[in-house]
Amino acid sequence: MSGSLPSNTNSNTNLDPNLTSNPGSTFGSNDGLNNGPNDGSAELLYSTRLSGGKHWSMRLRRGLSLQLRDVKGGANVGMVFYNTADLRERYNAPDTLKCQHTFYLTRGHCLYSDMGRIFASVLDDTLGAHETMCGNSSREQVDRQYGARSYQQDRNAWHQNGHDAFMVELSKYELGRRDLPANVNWFSKCAVREDGGIDFVDGYATAGSEVSLRIEMDCLVVLHTCPHPMASAKHYPHTDVGITLCHAPPMATDDVCLNLCDENRRGFENNRLYHLGSSL
């Protein structure tokens, strides 16, 4: 490898001092919320909860930490990333997997864009394996499996599907079906047999399961809480997902994501190059 030493990366992947100098100012600190779930020292900037079958998108700044929590067990969170400065740069599952020689995502892994950069890294994970190859539920599949329930019938408890949920959010940025890459499905695991057969692992995510991401470059995060397309549940899972934002702790030289493999050192070096000249 060349030119990608931890000492270089350490000094260039830190927090915005302007943000840390005035903690809590963005979202207010008087909402009665406690500290972030994985780090008692991280001040909670924002907290919300989505029930199953919902969708959301938000721009997240580099240096933030995003925590997802499966409140009741059995949740699924579909997620994709785009570069806010150029939406044509987006999460790339094949590059993410082959750069780190893995089929699953867990602690230490980085989520790569199609331009060789790192959108986010997985700082913590209580589960150990999340899949990023099986895509989304569709309206046809959800209707077939759980029964067709329209908004007119059920209002907030209707049976939304992952594909439509992504299309709704993507359209807000004038993105469409052509722009949707293979997504992450947090909290969902698909086992692979020797012959390549894929089996959804039922009951994998238990209540309280958590994943913590560190945002490595400014990005648009698009997510939904619709069921995994291979889930075998008979009833539509309206499971709650907790979402919190904190400042990520500064990256240390022994950082688990940086040091997972030489590939990640080079990925962080690409991020350093991308941010050259910026104030962060």
Partner 1 sequence: MARQSIDAGDYYLARLEAGDTLRIVDLEGNQAADTLFYAADDPTEHYSACNTLREQRNLYLSVGSELRSNENRCMLEIVADTCGRHDTLGGACSSESNTVRYDLDKRSMHACRDSWMLAIAEHPDFGIRKRDISHNINFFMNVPVTESGELTFEDGISAPGKYVELTASMDVIVLISNCPQLNNPCNGYNPTPIELLTWNQ
State the nearest-atom distance from the C-beta of 42 to partner 1, in Å. Answer: 29
State the nearest-atom distance from the C-beta of 196 to partner 1, in Å. Answer: 4
User: Which residue, 58 or 129, has its beta carbon nearer to partner 1?
Assistant: 129
State the nearest-atom distance from the C-beta of 63 to partner 1, in Å. Answer: 22
> Per DSSP, what are the bridge partners of residue 57?
222
Residues forming the site for partner 1 (CB under 8 A): 1-4, 88, 92-95, 97-99, 101-104, 112, 114-117, 129, 133-136, 138, 140, 176-183, 192, 194-199, 229-230, 263, 266-267, 269-270
Q: Is the dihedral of CA 71, 59, 218, 277 positive or negative?
A: negative
Phi–psi pair at 266, nearest 5 degrees: -70, -35
User: Which residue, 58 or 87, has its beta carbon nearer to partner 1?
Assistant: 87
* Cβ neighbourhood burial of 220 (10 Å; 0-12, 13-18, 19+): buried
User: Which residue, 39 or 179, has its beta carbon nearer to partner 1?
Assistant: 179
CB 223 within 8 A of CB 60: no
CA dist 112 and 252 (Å) reads 20
Give every CB contact of residue 22 below 8 A, 6+ residues apart in sequence. Answer: none
State the nearest-atom distance from the C-beta of 195 to partner 1, in Å. Answer: 7
User: Which residue, 102 or 259, has its beta carbon nearer to partner 1?
Assistant: 102
